[in-house]
Amino acid sequence: MSYDPQGYWQERYRDASLRSSGHRDLPEAYNLWLYKRKRQVLQHAIRDLGRSISGARVLEVGVGLGAYVEFFRAAGAARFVGTDIVPHAVSLLRQRYSGVEFIERDVTEPGLRDAVGEFDLVAALDVFYHVVDDRKLVSALGFIAEALAPNGLLAIHDVFLHRPSEDHGYIRWRSLEDWERLLASANLVVADRRPIYFTMVQANETSSRFEAALLEALWRLAEPFRRRLPGVAGAAAFVLDNIAGFVRREGPSMELMLVRKRVGAT
């Protein structure tokens, strides 16, 4: 069966919990820590580039059920707009957050800037690996580039493989090489890339057989705690991944990439 993004997410959003947009195989209490780690890495990366969310105009594409809305508002975003392809999700968010802009929109369709304006930060967090058609991804990147302010940043959560890209039907894991090529087609370049998870989710790509065996053993060892005490297990893994993030520049799974317009691009 072909992948229908709107139908797929319409079905997932029936469960209005963090598991619907996060890791659906893990308890919600554990997902809370997964999101905390993702928000932390994003904030630190933006800060390390000398930027700030405070006072910024922020667009989140694929806003889902709003896991990052309060984060961006608390960080002082001057304007926040969220878009999603699922009407039900947009309707729920409009009811939940009065005075915040939510728009039903497919980021792969033209006219993004005309519809929402210009932004200092565009967040595509766990979105683009669900855009499995490279042609549609190139279109989305181009439309986002048009909506980026001259000094703006695009934040991407994805797995940037050091092996060839892989198609898994509703997910496409792309290689770092393919990502750089696709970004270049939209006059975008990588400003920063850093790992998010080390132990909090299962490893996707490791640097050695020893690392793969070690991470798999840790994952299996923690399984009973994730099921019985997911909040405690999430907190412990969060601490471990914080420590690992200080010493490792490459990770075994999800990473954050910050992207900017190529110098001279309009």
What whole-number percentage of the chain has pLDDT above 70?
Answer: 98
**pLDDT attached to residue 9:** 80
Residue 15, pLDDT above cutoff 70: yes
Residue 265, pLDDT above cutoff 70: no
Q: Give mean pLDDT, residues 151-174.
A: 95
Q: What is the mean pLDDT of the chain?
A: 94
Range of the domain at 126: 5-261
Query: Is residue 120 assigned to a domain?
Result: yes
Residue 1, pLDDT above cutoff 60: no
Domain count for the chain, please give it. Answer: 1
**pLDDT attached to residue 187:** 96
User: Which has the closest alpha carbon to 62: 102, 35, 27, 91?
Assistant: 102
Q: For the domain that residue 167 is a member of, what is the CATH number?
A: 3.40.50.150
8 A C-beta contact, residue 202 and residue 253: yes
Query: Is residue 32 assigned to a domain?
Result: yes
> Encoding tokens for residue 238?
């969060």
Query: Is residue 266 assigned to a domain?
Result: no
Residue 25, pLDDT above cutoff 90: no
Q: Between these two residues, 233 and 22, which has the higher pLDDT value?
A: 233
Q: Give mean pLDDT, residues 83-102.
A: 93
pLDDT band at 78 (very low <50, low <70, confident <90, very high): very high
Query: Is residue 111 assigned to a domain?
Result: yes
Query: Is residue 214 assigned to a domain?
Result: yes
pLDDT band at 2 (very low <50, low <70, confident <90, very high): confident
**pLDDT attached to residue 262:** 87
Range with the lowest mean pLDDT among 4-13, 199-208, 256-265?
Answer: 4-13
Query: Is residue 136 assigned to a domain?
Result: yes
